[in-house]
Amino acid sequence: MKRIAVLVSGGGTNLQALIDAQARGEIQNGTIAAVISSSPGAYALERAGKAGIPGYVVNRKDYDSNREMTLALLKQLRELDIDLIVLAGFMYVLTEELVHAYRNAIINVHPALIPSFCGEGFYGLHVHEKALAYGVKVSGATVHFVSEECDGGPVILQKAVEVREDDTPKLLQRRIMEEAEWQLLPRAVSLFCQDRLKVEGRIVRILPE
């Protein structure tokens, strides 16, 4: 049974999708062992508590740099014997020490179809604002492994979502969450925990059961 840590910074809607999927038995051979927040006031910690999942805080404000925070986080993860890290609305860029320690074992969900609308500065509502300004007819979500390059790791799963004429950034954000993010993330986590993801360079192959 693989031990999963979910890293959060805010409300934890993607965390809730994982908690709900776990309750339905959809995450095979894995369990959410910890929720770690970059802020002590994150509502995600309340979600974890209600689900009986231990919550921890590695407060960004306690450290002078992202590197110092990353090293503290790495220490916490090792103490918890974590196998898989899931970034679920985690708002800080982690430095290479964590990527090196957990190569192809850190999963992130991005609210666009990578390589579109991704990279430095593309997070939260900014992604959807840019998509609408560009006039795309389709957007979506991508679940990928985390590498040293921002949003540049191997793609695990993607799902397209229609962009509607009357969409606002918030409407599009919500629909992509409901129709793509909340479906893809638990599936990717379960595939990892079943050892069904094989990384070959930049390609991720999904192995049969």
Where do we find the tokens 């031990």?
Answer: 3
Where residue 89 falls (left for φ over 0; alpha for ψ -120 to 50; beta otherwise) is: left
Q: Out of 110, 126, 128, 144, pick the active-site residue.
A: 110
d(CA 80, CA 156): 25
126 assigned to active site: no
Residue 149's contacts (CB-CB under 8 Å, 6 or more residues apart) are none
| Token representation of residue 198 | 């094989």
Token digits for 91? 């708002």
Residues marked as catalytic:
110
